[in-house]
Amino acid sequence: MPTGIAMRDVRRQLFDAAERVLLREGASALTSRAVTAEAGCAKGVLHRHFDDFDAFLAEFVLDRVHRMDAEAAALRDAAGTGTVVGNLTAALTAVFGSVAVAIVPLITFRDGLRARLRETWPAGVPVLTEAVDLVASYLAAERDLGRLAADAEVDLLAPTLIGTTHLLFADRAAAPPDEEAVRRMVAGVVAPALP
């Protein structure tokens, strides 16, 4: 591995390398050596910037959670436009087509990572709880606009949509579901809440 070469934005390069390894090989293959090899740097680079590998992974997970802010803004802005089913289909496909699905087994797989995340994220799995909040906020806006029934229980619909979408995308051995499969699922979940 090269040494003595200055790296720009080390954290971003290491996080991007971790994402590539995670998506390509899964949670069990994500090691400090795999990350630094993927980033093309010496292993010591990671340890100079993070206390240990679980600290690195915790910051990686939280960085990827914060990347969902753009999807949240886009979904909120979509309220009142298009169709509820279409907007949810696009948002859920974007969220679960990202690294989000791969992060769940990573958190499950590593006790030290879960402990680190609990320091800043007290409940739930970060990507999933953030996605539930994103969808619930959107559904509440649509309910306020009258595009969902006044008695629509967005706090029940949102986790149902996230859990069901996660199940659609969770099979690493199969191709991700197509847009029509996601749309059918969304339509089935929200149909009772549509006016």
Return the beta strands (E) in 49-112 as ranges. Answer: none
- Separation of alpha carbons 133 and 155, rounded Å: 9
**Using only C-alpha atoms, what is the Rg of the chain?**
19
Assigned fold of 10-49 = Arc Repressor Mutant, subunit A (1.10.10)
Extents of the domains making up the chain: 10-49, 61-193
Cα 84–chain centre separation: 21
- Separation of alpha carbons 104 and 94, rounded Å: 16
Neighbours of 66 (CB within 10 A): 11
Name the packing angle between helices 154-169 and 126-144 (round to 10°): 130
Residue with tokens 């070469």: 5
Return the beta strands (E) in the chain as ranges. Answer: none
The SS3 call for residue 176 is coil
- Separation of alpha carbons 21 and 39, rounded Å: 10
**AA identity, residue 122:** P
The pLDDT of residue 4: 47
pLDDT in tens, the chain (195 residues): 444 455 578 899 999 999 999 988 888 899 999 999 999 998 889 989 999 999 999 999 888 888 877 777 889 899 999 999 999 999 999 888 777 778 888 888 888 888 888 887 766 677 788 889 899 999 999 999 999 999 999 999 999 999 999 888 887 677 888 999 999 999 999 999 998
Neighbours of 9 (CB within 10 A): 9
CATH number of the domain located at residue range(s) 61-193 in this protein: 1.10.357.10
The answer to whether 139 and 148 are in contact (CB under 8 A) is yes
